[in-house]
Structure 1
Amino acid sequence: METIAISRIHFPVTTLGPGRRIGIWFQGCSIRCPGCISADTWTTGKGMTTIEEVVNTLQHWLPEAEGVTVSGGEPFDQREALQSLLSEIRSRFDGDVLVYSGYPVERLTDKLDGMTGLIDALISDPYLVDAPQTLALRGSDNQRLNILTPLGQARLSSFQRETVPSDRRFDLMMGETGEIWMAGIPGRDDFNRLTTILASQAHKIVTTQDRSAGTSRRQAND
């Protein structure tokens, strides 16, 4: 059975593309952009499972989902597993597939060979912590939304725009050990504001951002 390293899978995600989506976060990243909000997904050798197990998990949600968003980590660091997983999803699902990658799209030409039709839209390029942040679905304005299929055009081309207040939402996921995962595109100081609000109510918030370049994982303690 083909293996794959996965950080987490969640449904529904409503902040990383249109509609109710399945979010799949790959584990492991060789790019490691400074300021990344998902630094917890950088480490390799964790989250090992099989394509079969991932597909079995997705089967419960695919009938209700409108799209799938794949992020990480860096999905293209597991190029073969990514292709296998997307092929399985495409054979069972008519919704759109959006993939995030920190690689410039020009460097993905070879990696995209054989994946025609599997990815409807690709957000490419590394996150730059000092770049402006004004575009929908993107953490920094250097990142590009690449439309790859007619379905991607129909479903995701409307996100070729500046961000609006309603884009600044988060989906919350609770981990088994009390961790709170936030899915979405935060503003530059959103997590600092959250920390301040919780501190004013006598709560302490510990983040992996305090120990590295940043992450989307937040653990709150009374």
Structure 2
Amino acid sequence: MNIRISRLHFPVTTLGPGRRIGIWFQGCSIRCPGCISMDTWSPAGGETQVDVVLEQLRAWAPEADGFTISGGEPFDQPEALLALLRGVRRLSAGDVLVYSGHAYEQLADVLVTADGLIDGLISDPFDMAASQTLALRGSDNQRLHCLTPLGRQRFSALPRPAKALDVMFDGDGSVWFAGIPSRGDFQRLRELLADQGHHVQTSAAKARDRKDRNQQS
């Protein structure tokens, strides 16, 4: 089964309780203004096989408390998502949290097929104009759905965590952040690094540059 993946990482500690395996899908049809993961919007790139992904996850699964699947938009690849979820269930008894920018009601058909495979679901598009006070959500219009007894146990009473981001370093010098930043955090970080003489280009800036070049060509 083909699947498009932006990146995998372990451990992630800011997108759910415990030490988690983070799985970011590549490609997003929703493209919320203000999204911090614009690099995952393009439907091109990241092509691999579900079995290849599961083999990588297998090495981390014994140490992981759960899985967080985000993107991009996981439900833009529904068949691949379902195949991945079934494989994850075979690997681990840890909980599974999935993020989607679609409304819960739009996902009904896939969720019926995925019954028991997803413990917690965050639905609805990110709204940069909305307040930001709830655990696991980038904006308060987003809804948390606890879909299994394990999901209710793990997610229903989580407090909003103190400000924290996981930092991931790639071999090419890229730095990735996982978590839910407060409004303006990345701009403040960029300004701080610029004051220290560093040149910083964010994934959002790269995506805008690509869009501008495509419009000009």
In the superposition, the TM-score normalised over structure 2's length comes to 0.93
- Counterpart of 1:76 in structure 2 is 75
Equivalent residue runs for 1:172-191 within 5 Å: 172-191=167-186
Q: Deviations over 1:126-180 (max 9, x none)?
A: 0011111111110111000100000001111122x5x34x2x2111111221110
Q: What stretches of structure 2 of length at least 5 have no aligned partner?
A: 209-217
* 1:143 lines up with 2:138 in the alignment: no
**Counterpart-to-counterpart distance in 2, 1:47 and 1:199:** 31
Q: What count of residue pairs does the alignment treat as equivalent?
A: 208
**Counterpart-to-counterpart distance in 2, 1:136 and 1:156:** 9
- Secondary structure at 1:68 match in 2: strand
RMSD, aligned α-carbons: 1.1
- Secondary structure at 1:25 match in 2: strand
**Counterpart-to-counterpart distance in 2, 1:210 and 1:68:** 29
- Secondary structure at 2:16 match in 1: coil
- Counterpart of 1:200 in structure 2 is 195
Does the 8 Å CA contact 2:78/2:110 hold for their aligned counterparts? yes
- Alpha-carbon offset, residue 209 of structure 1: 2.4
Identity %: 58
Letter in 1 for 2:184: D
- Counterpart of 1:29 in structure 2 is 28
Greater shift, 202-211 or 122-131, is seen at: 202-211
**Counterpart-to-counterpart distance in 2, 1:22 and 1:190:** 24
Q: Deviations over 1:67-91 (max 9, x none)?
A: 0000000000000100001001101
- Alpha-carbon offset, residue 5 of structure 1: 0.2
**Counterpart-to-counterpart distance in 2, 1:173 and 1:65:** 17
Letter in 1 for 2:87: E
Answer 1 or 2: which has greater helix percent. 2
Runs of 4+ in 1 over 2 A off after TM superposition: 208-213
**Counterpart-to-counterpart distance in 1, 2:154 and 2:112:** 23
- Secondary structure at 1:61 match in 2: helix
